[in-house]
Chains A and B, each alone.
Chain A
């Protein structure tokens, strides 16, 4: 694999055959070509590398929720507290390596007390260093080269110039001259590798507050099995959620395929939910909507149900009447949202704007509570400003109308053509002038709205953008904006 570093085409990685020929990463391509003219050079693809790394990290998510990507070629797992689930640290590492081998990847793994030490051991250590998880950090790190400390290239080069090549060379040097000459960064990295300073791991995915998972000896592939599993996991979550007085607002089901791919399916709810049956029903809709997108391949061998967002959900008595209705409606909204998509099920909300297309908006019904609709404020505004009746249907975008003929320049059109049909205006009301957003650069001109009716009784809401008196601008244009009945 070849890539450009500075002005030079360098070998970035070599396969086994090339290694046998004496090539190594870091060699200039021209030099390598001179040695072996038949060399096959493949340009690097950083995006693909990043995607692959991400996919591998996804696979590793099965061991612990705390997984971080360490570009360009590393993955960090915080296995504190979960190693025993796999029979111990050693077993976990062996399992991980075996899985990587199955995927056709060669990997090195090391376990250590901190990120610095683990990274150094995995990247630069020999078999013995990697295996020795509990040994004293100083002893393990001493023979490793300085790049193991994750230092910038310039620092490594500067250290090499004064003859410091291994970690052991700087371990016992006085600290203040080192910091003065090579920067405080060097000492910090050294401290981190030695475990003197803590380094937090930033997981690539947020850690969900509630998780239940189940692994299968025999992979499952059928939809019914997956759903049954969802219900069992949800029942387990319910116990925890009830104990904490919480309910799920957003749930994610992660299905780990045997070949390493991970399928994630998320559903949202409009009120805190913990009833396993209801959770299952949501996933039924989601799976039906996804259809073939969930490709089980050779089956899933681990399923994990996580609550991504939880909210407090007081235990309440379901009483008769409106309360029950509200629950029923929320269930319906959840089902529709799960199947059709969250953004497709919406409620109309009033916005604080005088520009007609901005005055109302659709907001996902799951995301909103009744208090936020804002229509009361709109009604007060309408009463005060004496707004005219608005059209029942507003076009997605104002559509230009042609052949407009108006008796007086500022008056309503007597005739216009919209969507190829010519309309003769019989009656008109207006104008209602709505000023553009004058405070903004692209606010647009003022609009004069007219409510007109044509010979067939069709009623339209159309406007003229711009005024005739303003000769400096281009002549006004007419638009169709809405339809009345």
Chain B
């Protein structure tokens, strides 16, 4: 093997040598193998979150979303569809957002291919019975046209995984969402999905109906819960979807917790500024918590 030969050779210039080794490592890992090679970046349209993500989510990579608990699957679904809306809509985020972020980090956040407008939502039968199916008339309100959605019902988790892999390899698809219970999905399966996502142009999203801490090949993992409407507006009705988004794993940067509202008109997440003080901090790397 190439590495064997190289390790036996004498090292003249350490810097050049390390550089060379890095390149070889990158070649060995292949596309999508590590952070940085997951395609164009999909910004969430919010400087604080995009900053933590280093510009956005890798748009041809695998990500995971878990509902904070079974009853909050609807919140996680909104988050998933909001990402889908951002990924597949033709309109770009207003430039003001990109400018307000640190320069240099957002070079990749500009171009998402115009093709691949379709969203495929694959769900397990049991989850559909438990949490209900997507309701077409609501989709416009999230910012995604029901015409662009294809729904697939699968009897088992392994069928969900198979269908996700097939869909991820299709060029016409911009987003693949696979909804399942967090059980019996091993790292090999997520690795396969990550490779399929890297090979295609679609963003793969596993949507767990409850939190799961199994190891996974996904680039980021989110736990999404519902958040209360602001108290100040008591009696003023119920506002736009409001989510407590916790970024609990991130291969490319720090973790964070945000309360966000999905603005479906401008298609971006907005921090809920008028909310109560911050929710709990990220538990495993508190020193790196990004505070909104």
Contact = CB atoms under 8 A, between A and B. Distances in A.
Nearest to B169: A332
A21 interface: no
Interface string B116-145: 101000000000110111111111111001
Nearest to A321: B115
Interface stretch (B15-23, B74-82, B189-197): B74-82
Nearest to A330: B172
A423 B144 CA distance: 30
A340 B238 contact: no
A38 interface: no
A485 B118 contact: no
A171 interface: no
Contacts of B235: 427
Nearest to A389: B141
B84 to A, nearest CB: 12
Interface string B209-232: 000000000000000011111000
Contacts of A458: 71-72, 226
B172 A332 contact: yes
A362 B151 contact: yes
Interface string A312-341: 000000000110111011011101100110
Nearest to A328: B172
Given A393-B132, A396-B128, A328 B237 contact: no
Nearest to A359: B137
A427 B238 contact: yes
A240 interface: no
A350 B135 contact: no
A5 interface: no
Interface string A178-197: 00000000000000000000
A391 B138 contact: yes
Interface in A54-101: none
A404 interface: no
Nearest to B140: A379
Nearest to B145: A375
Contacts of A429: 237-238
B153 A344 contact: yes
Tell me whether chain B's interface is mostly helix, strand or loop, or mixed. mixed
Interface in A216-263: none
B238 A453 contact: yes
Interface in B143-159: 145-147, 149-155, 159
B167 interface: yes
A348 B136 contact: yes
Given A329-B118, A344-B152, A427-B234, A349 B136 contact: yes
Interface residues of B, number: 58
A417 interface: no
B170 A329 contact: yes
Contacts of B153: 340, 344, 346
A392 B138 contact: yes
A411 to B, nearest CB: 14
Contact of A457 (B135, B155, B163, B242): B242
B171 interface: yes
Interface of B: 71-75, 77-79, 81, 115-116, 118, 128-129, 131-142, 145-147, 149-155, 159, 162-163, 166-167, 170-173, 225-229, 234-235, 237-238, 241-244
Top 9 closest pairs, chain A to chain B, by CB: A360-B136, A485-B78, A348-B136, A393-B132, A325-B172, A483-B74, A329-B172, A457-B228, A394-B135
25 contacts: A324-B171, A326-B172, A329-B118, A329-B172, A332-B166, A336-B152, A346-B151, A348-B149, A348-B151, A350-B136, A350-B137, A350-B146, A360-B137, A382-B140, A389-B138, A391-B135, A392-B138, A393-B73, A393-B74, A393-B134, A427-B235, A429-B238, A459-B226, A482-B132, A485-B78
Given A329-B172, A427-B237, 14 more contacts: A328-B171, A340-B159, A344-B154, A345-B152, A348-B146, A370-B147, A387-B137, A390-B137, A391-B138, A392-B77, A396-B132, A482-B132, A485-B78, A485-B226
